[in-house]
Structure 1
């Protein structure tokens, strides 16, 4: 279970103050598959970092009894001067995994070829996403956090991502951010819309995406 209890998040940047969320309370249970809609800048990535525990709330409390992956997406979570393989070994040690087994899995899944043994700063955004996806799937988490990563790579890689995510969905929780309604419909059973600092839940992805598009049309 991941429980948000009256969570607010505010950033203070010099003399500028930005309140991203206000008084969020909700629960993600084992087996949930949640798709989150929201405009650019609404705070979707911040929400994912709070779910993962990468950031702490300004007020309120986040309680976790499930292990979570880091947010899998285009933002790099690796040390850029290390190779993909060295990053994978480092993460294996953090999570108490066999480094050789994890590296073999990532090298096979990510299909980076010789780049797997090159510094991450030489990677494209899509290659970063492949590496992040491969390392995340090499570790058994209770909840996987996904940020648009299924768009990375060629058709064969996208199919591998789809199959892997579907398998993880059957055995754990999944929280996904995507601007593509079809992607959310494919992976998620219920939806939520992040707007104006509030997160509103809906029984279906179709209803959530409809509300999201209506809000965006009104804003435009």
Structure 2
């Protein structure tokens, strides 16, 4: 269960304060993968970050008894002067038991396929290499909910298939909260949906395809 209570989020702009959400109250069901659907700028990624604890609301709170990942594939939190191995070790010590840290590091090293770069500073990596490391790191840990913001597969065709296979495996044992421009992916992986309308009104749908229809109709008008 993830319960959102009286959540308000706004940003200061040159034209005044822009409210993304005002006093949002909603409860997300347990054991269901949730699609976040709405136009660009509606607040989907903002809500995702707040659920993950990366961004904070102005007021209100998010209550849960479930474990929630950081956004899958997030590479912005890496320390550039540290190596890939050192970055992975740091995260593993936070999220894994002392006995499993070595196994987590080994999983990411094998999955990311960075070769000697795994022991080189992150600042020497290309964006693709950082994404591969970030995706592997996200998948190394077991969460009740994985936050997915567009990142589903990275790299060449073979590596993308490798990512897709692992993502499919995770979908059978955990739930997703997903933002994607691919409506097909939302329909494939999600059970229910939140539709964020033009007036930032949030509607809950028991059926993802119904939410997609509502979104498509709103964009057509």
Partner in structure 1 of residue 154 of structure 2: 152
Q: Report the alpha carbon displacement of residue 125 of structure 1 after superposing the two structures with TM.
A: 3.4
Higher alpha-carbon deviation: 200-209 or 42-51: 200-209
> Which residues of structure 2 form unaligned runs of 5+?
none
- Contact preservation (8 Å) 1:66, 1:142: yes
Deviates more, 1:51-60 or 1:120-129: 120-129
* Counterpart in the other structure of 1:188: 190
| Alignment match of 1:166 (pick from 142, 165, 168) | 168
Kept in 2, the 8 Å contact 1:34–1:189? The answer is: yes
Following the alignment from structure 2 to structure 1, what is the Cα–Cα distance between the partners of residues 161 and 211? 26
1:1-220 correspondence runs (5 A): 1-12=1-12, 16-73=16-73, 76-97=76-97, 98-195=100-197, 196-218=199-221
In structure 1, list runs of 5 or more residues that go unmatched. Answer: none
Moved more, 77-86 or 87-96: 77-86
1:131-163 Cα offsets, whole Å, 9 max, x none, are: 222111111111110111114222332323233
- Supply the distance in 2 between the matched residues of 1:73 and 1:44 (Cα, whole angstroms): 17
Q: Flag the 1:28–1:110 CA change in 2: closer, same or farther, 3 A.
A: farther
The answer as to whether partners of 1:31 and 1:170 remain within 8 angstroms in 2 is no
CA contact (8 A) 2:84 2:133 kept: yes
Q: How many residue pairs were aligned? A: 218
3-state SS in 2 of match to 1:162 = helix
The answer as to whether partners of 2:38 and 2:195 remain within 8 angstroms in 1 is yes
TM-score by length of structure 2 reads 0.87
Give the distance between the partners of 1:13 and 1:43, measured in 2 at CA.
Answer: 15
TM-score, normalisation: structure 1: 0.88
* C-alpha distance in 2 between matches for 1:15 and 1:7: 23
Give the Cα–Cα distance (whole angstroms) in 1 for the partners of residues 142 and 183 of structure 2. 27
C-alpha RMSD over aligned residues: 2.2
